[in-house]
Amino acid sequence: MGGLLLISDDLPRTMRLAHALGPVRRCSIHDLYDDAMPASQPDLVVGDVAQLSSEALRRLKRILEPVRAAGAPFLVLTHGNAARAEAQARLLDPNDILPALSVFERVAGRIDRLQEEGGSTAAARLAEEARQFFGRTFFSGQTVTPELASTGTGLIARAVQRCGIRDWVQAVRRFDEATQQHCLLVTGLAAAFATRLGFADLDCYRLTKAALLHDVGKTRISSAILNKPGRLTEEEMAVMRTHAALGYDLLVQGDFSPEMLQVVRSHHEMLDGSGYPDGLREAEVPDLVRLVTICDIYGALIERRPYRAPMSGAEAFAILRSMTGRLDAELVQAFRPVMTVFDPPATTSDRSQNLST
């Protein structure tokens, strides 16, 4: 997360404010009269400017333009004559205005609220960008290349890093198209899982990219089956289960690594041999496949579907744990921190639908 950006015309005063906000809020202070622009994108901008002259307003607008375009909300702290200061502040079109002499609890509470709203807004924007990229890349009929997959991997990894997995899950679950919702959700979960496991950058990239590609075969399944607003029949389920092999066939002639191809083909394999399409067992299922499979099943359980509400994180995790012998129990346990960082809506009692298709 980018933290707070405090814009100041009195650095000692604003430094006292940053100190008072406490160590739990990461603050950076930018001198209003420094011609350089802020170095990073914040989650929230706070204008702590006492003298809102025409020059100050011009400088504020220049600083605010790029950071607000990226989704950061803006809170203005007013000083001096309340009516005059508020009238000047409204020229900046802030999300909120608060007197600087208010008790500190009001300032901190307002910051918390705006920061939460800003995170959700940014997540929605980034998720929509990823959805459009996914549609152009995977459902347009063009050839899926490693370069395109790398672009999508970086896009989602950066979004999850910035917004957090909780806001990413909430944003993606609003999409109506089931396959796009599922793939973006699973890719985000994989990015968060890799981070929680402490993977090096290259290994984080590998897991996130594998998750992005895992269901590419569904682009060759009829949309009537993919987007059916109800449970699939046995015949439809049999067609759906061809997607793993179809995805492998789609990519095998490209320049994809064997480990990526293995994930695409084998992400529905189970350690006890009950999976598909090849009935692999134990050591035949690589670690990268095991990791993606956990994200895939968990994502399917917490997704919003037309015929059922999403399960809670705790209920979905309990189902993962119940699959001892089919999933890698140590990796399932390692997934727990990903589950605990967000709180999906209330559970559904309907568990009869397949865990993942």
What is the chain's alpha carbon radius of gyration, rounded to the nearest angstrom? 24
Pair 250, 303: CB distance under 8 Å = no
Give the total residue count for the chain. 357
pLDDT at position 87 is 86
- For the chain, list the domains and their CATH numbers: 4-102 (3.40.50.2300), 123-340 (1.10.3210.10)
Pair 172, 181: CB distance under 8 Å = yes
Give dist(CA 212, CA 190) in Å, integer. Answer: 9
Describe the strand order of the beta sheet including 96-99 as a list of residue ranges. 27-31, 4-8, 44-48, 74-78, 96-99
3-state secondary structure at position 134:
helix
State CA 6 to chain mean position distance: 26
- The angle, 0 to 180 degrees and rounded to 10, between the axes of the packed helices 146-163 and 178-196 is 70
Pair 121, 73: CB distance under 8 Å = yes
pLDDT at position 259 is 95
The amino acid present at 329, given as its one-letter code, is A
Give dist(CA 79, CA 51) in Å, integer. Answer: 8
Residue 246, beta-bridge partner list: none
Q: Show pLDDT as tens, one digit a residue, over the chain (357 residues).
A: 467 899 999 888 888 778 766 654 678 899 999 988 988 888 889 999 988 888 999 999 999 999 888 888 988 988 877 678 888 888 898 888 888 765 454 555 555 555 555 556 777 878 888 888 888 877 777 788 888 888 888 888 888 877 788 888 888 887 777 888 899 999 999 999 998 898 988 899 999 999 999 999 998 898 888 888 888 899 999 999 999 999 999 999 888 999 999 999 999 999 999 999 999 999 999 999 999 999 999 999 998 776 778 888 889 999 999 999 999 999 999 999 888 765 444 333 344 344 556
3-state secondary structure at position 252:
coil
CA triplet 298, 250, 274: central angle to 5 degrees? 45
pLDDT at position 173 is 80
pLDDT at position 118 is 53
Helix (H) / strand (E) element for 4: namely: strand 4-8
pLDDT at position 43 is 84
DSSP 231: P
151-187: string of b/e by CB count within 10 Å (b at 16+)? ebbebbbebbebbbbbbbbbbbbebebbbbbbbbbbb
Q: What is the DSSP string of 149-193?
A: HHHHHHHHHHHHHHH-HHHHHHHHTT-S-HHHHHHHHHHHHHHHH
Give the β-pairing of 27-31 and 44-48: unpaired
Q: Which tokens sit at 146? A: 């490693």
Q: Which tokens sit at 25? A: 């809020």
pLDDT at position 111 is 58
Query: Which residues have a Cβ under 8 Å from the Cβ of 342 and sit 6 or more positions away?
Result: 164, 165, 166, 169, 170, 313
pLDDT at position 235 is 94
The owner of tokens 């390692």 is: 334
Give dist(CA 278, CA 261) in Å, integer. Answer: 14
pLDDT at position 280 is 97
pTM beyond 0.85: no
DSSP 37: P
